[in-house]
């Protein structure tokens, strides 16, 4: 089946690009690998009868999140070289722990008697109805959460005025420094 | 591709995220790793909707929205970190050292 | 104003309102005079309500209102309220009348006080009146306990009113600790009563053993508050307070609270013959013992203080003999004439600026009104026929006839003689004889002092004639009968006076007088307490102090030290690196999953 073959290829692509996400030294490269991984996942969604989710994934993640990430990296770019220099001293520990996680998950998956069903997956229209019917409250709550996140992000990352910044340097930084000591 | 395959794929993705989380020093790279892990979780949800008929597709939408919020706040924190410590390496923020 | 409960609430709450007002409005207090007027107005309202209550009670009978305020597991535990019956209305009237007289008297007596001190004095008086009324009107033992402790507090504050004077401060602390020690008995008695009966009612039905235990514990508190042997030692020292305070708290009302408590809890005490026996003996012992001590005092207030102990001994003995009415009747009469005596003594002290009897003498010509009042009080106290004290003392003695082989009766007869004798001595030394240098410039007290004296002199003479009505309203029986007791008692009283006149009169018999003064050694009880305090209590405290310092504190320090060391030992785990924390979290998750499989 061509669909199955495509799915296998997509799955392999997701894993490979995931490896590059965590392995590439340059952050911009890592973000681009992540975008690829997310794109391939969107393809898998489409294969798994979730075309709407695939669309959303492409729009928000690949279009929004990845762009935002690149933007963040660019803004803080000054230290990219230093960051690249910083050696990863705990690679071995990280690898062992990650393998442990994978082992636990894999064992759990293989040991579990997974349910099967031939019920048709809901189409987009049904998904929309469910969203605004059963999940209406959660839906509204999420919109509120997004609003709060936007406001919060602005408040946290807001660039202060020049006066405020000098004040900041005079008062805040020393305390942070001593705290760091 | 069956449910088991999908789940194993997601597990691999998740473990990669864990690896990144544990080894990367840049704050933005941590966010990327978290994205991988969330993506793995979403894959599981969609796979269950397909193969087991579970009503999990709306949850994926919510997860996406929440992740977007998390990324926005997370990046704002990175900016703050950058401004406070003049650095984006997480090790700069080590106030919790005993 | 015909609702008994409303009147009772007025009598109770108006003094409280006055006290609160004086507390929250410092300008009123600091200016002095307004505080006095507020306090006196409150007492007047209280007195009016109390008098109306007495009249109403004669027509309508008692009333009772309670509200529950303490719950545990949805079960009511305790209530507060108002209890209007013969005992409380009579006591209320006595307390408010004496309080009003004393407060008016104080306006003149405390005149030299600074305005701030003056205001504080009257604020405390208002608080005292509330506390006393709270105790009097209590529908159960728990509320009585609250009032009991409050009067103890105000007593402490008023004894130590001149707290800058070391002796006054010491006396206040001594009074507080002595009564507090005794109040432990009240507290434990209350707890036992609650455990045994599930409530704090005045008339709970108890097991004979429990009743004996509870009432004995309560009696310990009575011994402390009413200054009975051997806890009487605080009362003479309490005379360091202003004389009107001594009149109100340490003669007429507060010290009588112990007697009042027993009268109130008569149903409880009736179930405990052993307790009554104890009371009988302690009361009669105190009566004689304190009378002996009164004989040798050189300070006019100390004479009256020991006399108070002695008279309270009469009341306790009467209660021990099972005659609550006799004790209560004597309480009321004693409140009048002893307050009168104290106020007259205060008037004298105010005039000669000394407490010492030797500084007085011949005041009869300088202060006729005061002399008249003091003599009236003395005659009433001695129990000369026709005066109020005669009736009540007769009743007390009559209730003791034939008890315990007539011994308590005999003791109290002896005390009656001594009472007349020491009062005769005091009258002779202070008011008759030659003028002493200090009394040369003495002059009669101002109107604000002499009017209360005359007001109190009236009931000190005639109140006894209302005994029958009083007894009737209490459901007791009373009639004056000519028999052994009144004859013996009144002849002893007259004999005592005559003897005093002979010994201390115009031609002093120096040898007898000095022989009597040498009896002063009798203050051994005080020294006994002091030795007990120094040797036993301080020694015990040292031991406890050592245990506290080295064992308990040592454990505490060890805990702190161990915590610090343990913290230093593991502080290395806190690297401050987020990665390390994440490793810990993930490894923990893996271990949890494996644990789940292992089970």
* Chain B partners (3+ C-beta pairs within 8 A): A, C
Q: What is the mean pLDDT of residues C515-521?
A: 55
- The residues in B 33-92 lying below 8 A from C, measured between CB atoms, are 90-91
Percent of chain B at pLDDT > 70 equals: 87
Q: Where are the domains of chain B?
A: 3-86
Q: Is the pLDDT score of C527 beyond 60?
A: yes
Burial class (CB in 10 A: 0-12, 13-18, 19+), C506: exposed
Cβ-Cβ contacts under 8 Å, A94 against chain C: 579, 583
Closest residue, chain B, to C567 (C-alpha): B98
Closest residue, chain C, to A102 (C-alpha): C590
**Number of DSSP helices (H) and strands (E) in chain B, helices first:** 3, 0
In angstroms, rounded to a whole number, what is the distance separating the alpha carbons of residues C596 and C274? 70
Can you list the alpha helix ranges (DSSP code H) found in C198-272? Answer: 208-225, 234-237, 243-247, 257-264, 266-270
| Side-chain-side CA neighbours of residue C113 (13 Å) | 24
Do B97 and C575 count as a contact with CB atoms less than 8 A apart? Answer: yes
Closest Cα partner for A153 from C90, C41, B72, C29?
B72
Do A145 and B69 count as a contact with CB atoms less than 8 A apart? Answer: yes
Instruction: Select the residue of A73, A99, A134 nearest B28 (Cβ to Cβ).
Output: A73
Q: Report the length, in residues, of chain B.
A: 98
Cβ-Cβ contacts under 8 Å, C588 against chain A: none
Q: C594 in contact with A at a CB cutoff of 8 Å?
A: yes
Sorted by sequence, the CB contacts under 8 Å of residue C54 that are 6+ apart come out as C89, C90, C92, C93
pLDDT confidence tier of residue C382, bands split at 50, 70 and 90: confident
- DSSP single-letter state for residue A76: T
Cβ-Cβ contacts under 8 Å, A18 against chain B: 12-13, 16-17, 36
* Distance to chain A for B8, nearest Cα, Å: 6
Q: How far is CA A153 from the centre of its chain?
A: 17
Higher pLDDT, residue A69 or B40: B40
Cβ-Cβ contacts under 8 Å, C580 against chain B: none
Q: A100 in contact with C at a CB cutoff of 8 Å?
A: yes
Closest residue, chain C, to A104 (C-alpha): C590
Q: Is the pLDDT score of A150 beyond 90?
A: no
Q: What is the mean pLDDT of residues C368-380?
A: 88
Residues C67, C81 contacting (CB under 8 angstroms): yes
Segment A63-91, tens digit of pLDDT: 777 777 787 777 766 555 555 545 555 57
Cβ-Cβ contacts under 8 Å, A83 against chain B: 25-26, 88-89
In angstroms, rounded to a whole number, what is the distance separating the alpha carbons of residues A115 and A105? 17
**Fold annotation for B3-86:** Helix Hairpins (1.10.287)
Do A22 and B24 count as a contact with CB atoms less than 8 A apart? Answer: yes
Query: Which of the residue ranges C195-199, C283-287, C425-429, C468-472 has the most confident prediction, judged by mean pLDDT?
Result: C283-287
Cβ-Cβ contacts under 8 Å, A91 against chain B: 23
DSSP string across B1-46 = --HHHHHHHHHHHHHHHHHHHHH--BHHHHHHHHHHHHHHHHHHHH
Cβ-Cβ contacts under 8 Å, A107 against chain C: 597
Q: C579 in contact with A at a CB cutoff of 8 Å?
A: yes
Segment C400-425, tens digit of pLDDT: 887 777 888 888 888 888 888 888 88
**pTM listed for this prediction:** 0.61
In angstroms, rounded to a whole number, what is the distance separating the alpha carbons of residues C383 and C486? 10
Residue whose entry in the numeric block shows the structure tokens 């009168």: C340
Q: How far is CA C454 from the centre of its chain?
A: 24
Torsion of CA C509, C514, C515, C519, to 10 degrees: 140
Strands C75-84 and C63-72: antiparallel
Q: How far is CA C558 from the centre of its chain?
A: 48
Q: Is the pLDDT score of C155 beyond 70?
A: yes
Segment C1-15, tens digit of pLDDT: 578 888 888 888 999
Closest Cα partner for C581 from C573, C572, C589, C571?
C573
Burial class (CB in 10 A: 0-12, 13-18, 19+), C183: buried
Closest Cα partner for C145 from C100, C107, C202?
C202
Do B35 and A93 count as a contact with CB atoms less than 8 A apart? Answer: no
DSSP string across C353-420 = S--BGGG---HHHH-HHHHHHHHHHHHHHHT-TTSHHHHHHHHHHHHHTTGGGGHHHHHHHHHHHHHH
ipTM: 0.87
Can you list the alpha helix ranges (DSSP code H) found in C432-577? Answer: 447-462, 467-474, 484-504, 510-517, 524-531, 538-546, 553-570
Peptide bond connecting C358 to the previous residue in cis, omega within 30 degrees of 0? no
pLDDT of residue C497: 82
- Residue C359 CA: distances (Å) to CA of A160, C378, C517: 87, 20, 16
Provide the 10 A C-beta neighbour count for residue C272.
23
Cβ-Cβ contacts under 8 Å, B52 against chain A: 114-117
Instruction: Select the residue of A60, A114, A173 nearest B68 (Cβ to Cβ).
Output: A60
In angstroms, rounded to a whole number, what is the distance separating the alpha carbons of residues B71 and B76? 8
Instruction: Select the residue of B17, B46, B67 nearest A48 (Cβ to Cβ).
Output: B46
Do A145 and B33 count as a contact with CB atoms less than 8 A apart? Answer: no
């Amino acid at each position: 089946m061509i669909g199955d073959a495509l799915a296998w290829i997509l799955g392999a692509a997701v894993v490979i690009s995931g490896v590059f996400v965590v392995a590439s030294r340059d952050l911009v490269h890592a973000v681009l690998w992540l975008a690829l991984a997310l794109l391939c996942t969107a393809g898998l969604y489409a294969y798994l009868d979730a075309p709407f989710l695939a669309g959303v994934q492409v729009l928000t993640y690949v279009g929004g999140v990845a762009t935002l990430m690149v933007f963040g990296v660019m803004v803080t770019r000054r230290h990219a070289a230093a960051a690249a220099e910083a050696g990863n001293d705990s690679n071995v520990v990280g690898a062992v722990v990650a393998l442990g996680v994978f082992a636990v998950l894999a064992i759990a998956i293989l040991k579990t008697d997974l349910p099967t069903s031939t019920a048709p997956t809901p189409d987009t229209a049904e998904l929309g109805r469910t969203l605004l019917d059963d999940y209406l409250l959660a839906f509204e709550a999420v919109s509120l959460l997004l609003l709060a996140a936007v406001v919060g992000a602005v408040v946290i990352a807001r660039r202060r005025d020049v006066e405020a910044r000098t004040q900041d340097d005079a008062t805040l930084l020393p305390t942070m420094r001593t705290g760091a000591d | 591709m069956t449910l088991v395959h999908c789940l194993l794929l997601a597990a691999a993705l998740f473990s990669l995220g864990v690896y990144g989380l544990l080894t990367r020093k840049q704050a933005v790279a941590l966010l990327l790793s978290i994205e991988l892990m969330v993506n793995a979780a979403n894959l599981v949800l969609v796979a269950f909707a397909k193969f087991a008929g579970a009503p999990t597709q709306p949850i994926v939408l919510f997860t996406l929205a929440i992740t977007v919020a998390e990324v926005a706040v997370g990046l704002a924190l990175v900016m703050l970190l950058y401004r406070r410590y003049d650095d984006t390496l997480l090790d700069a923020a080590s106030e919790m050292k005993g | 104003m015909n609702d008994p409960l409303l009147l009772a609430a007025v009598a109770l709450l108006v003094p409280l309102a006055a006290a609160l007002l004086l507390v929250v409005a410092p300008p009123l207090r600091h200016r002095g005079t307004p505080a006095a007027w507020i306090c006196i107005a409150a007492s007047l309202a209280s007195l009016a309500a109390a008098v109306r209550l007495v009249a109403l009670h004669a027509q309508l009978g008692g009333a009772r209102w309670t509200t529950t305020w303490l719950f545990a597991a949805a079960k009511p535990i305790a209530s507060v309220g108002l209890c209007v019956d013969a005992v409380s209305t009579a006591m209320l009237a006595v307390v408010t009348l004496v309080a009003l007289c004393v407060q008016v008297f104080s306006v003149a007596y405390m005149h030299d006080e600074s305005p701030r001190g003056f205001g504080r004095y009257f604020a405390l008086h208002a608080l005292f009146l509330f506390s006393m009324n709270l105790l009097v009107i209590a529908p159960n033992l728990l509320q009585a306990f609250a009032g009991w402790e409050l009067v103890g507090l105000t007593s402490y504050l008023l004894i130590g009113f001149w707290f800058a004077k070391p002796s006054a401060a010491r006396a206040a602390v001594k009074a507080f600790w002595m009564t507090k020690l005794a109040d432990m008995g009240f507290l434990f008695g209350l707890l036992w009563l609650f455990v045994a009966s599930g409530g704090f009612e005045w008339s709970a039905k108890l097991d004979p053993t429990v009743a004996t235990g509870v009432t004995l514990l309560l009696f310990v508190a009575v011994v402390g508050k009413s200054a009975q042997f051997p806890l009487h030692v605080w009362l003479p020292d309490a005379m360091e307070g202003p004389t009107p305070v001594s009149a109100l708290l340490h003669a007429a009302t507060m010290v009588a609270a112990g007697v009042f408590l027993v009268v109130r809890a008569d149903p409880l005490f009736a179930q405990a013959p052993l307790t009554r026996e104890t009371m009988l003996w302690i009361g009669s012992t105190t009566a004689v013992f304190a009378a002996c001590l009164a004989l040798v005092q050189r300070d006019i207030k100390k004479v009256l203080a020991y006399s108070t102990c002695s008279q309270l001994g009469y009341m306790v003995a009467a209660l021990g003999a099972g005659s609550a009415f006799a004790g209560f009747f004597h309480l009321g009469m004693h409140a009048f004439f002893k307050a009168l005596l104290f106020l007259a003594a205060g008037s004298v002290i105010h005039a000669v600026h000394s407490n010492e009897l030797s500084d007085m003498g011949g005041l009869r010509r300088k202060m006729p009104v005061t002399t008249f009042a003091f003599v009236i009080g003395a005659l009433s106290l001695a129990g000369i026929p026709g005066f109020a004290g005669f009736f009540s003392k007769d009743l007390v003695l009559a209730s003791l006839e034939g008890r315990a082989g007539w011994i308590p009766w005999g003791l109290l007869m002896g005390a009656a003689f001594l009472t007349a004798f020491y009062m005769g001595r005091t009258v002779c030394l202070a008011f008759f004889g030659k003028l002493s240098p200090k009394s040369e410039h003495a002059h009669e007290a101002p109107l604000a002092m002499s009017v209360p004296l005359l007001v109190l002199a009236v009931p000190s003479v005639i109140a006894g004639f209302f005994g029958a009505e009083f007894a009737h309203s209490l459901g007791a029986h009373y009639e004056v009968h000519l028999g052994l007791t009144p004859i013996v008692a009144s002849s002893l009283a007259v004999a005592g006076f005559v003897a005093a006149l002979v010994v201390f009169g115009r031609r002093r018999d120096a040898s007898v007088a000095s022989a009597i003064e040498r009896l002063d050694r009798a203050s051994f009880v005080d020294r006994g307490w002091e030795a007990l305090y120094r040797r036993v209590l301080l020694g015990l405290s040292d031991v406890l102090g050592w245990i506290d310092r080295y064992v308990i504190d040592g454990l505490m320090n060890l805990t702190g030290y161990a915590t610090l060391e343990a913290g230093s030992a593991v502080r290395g785990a806190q690297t401050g690196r987020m990665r390390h924390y994440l490793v810990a979290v993930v490894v923990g998750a893996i271990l949890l999953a494996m644990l789940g499989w292992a089970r």
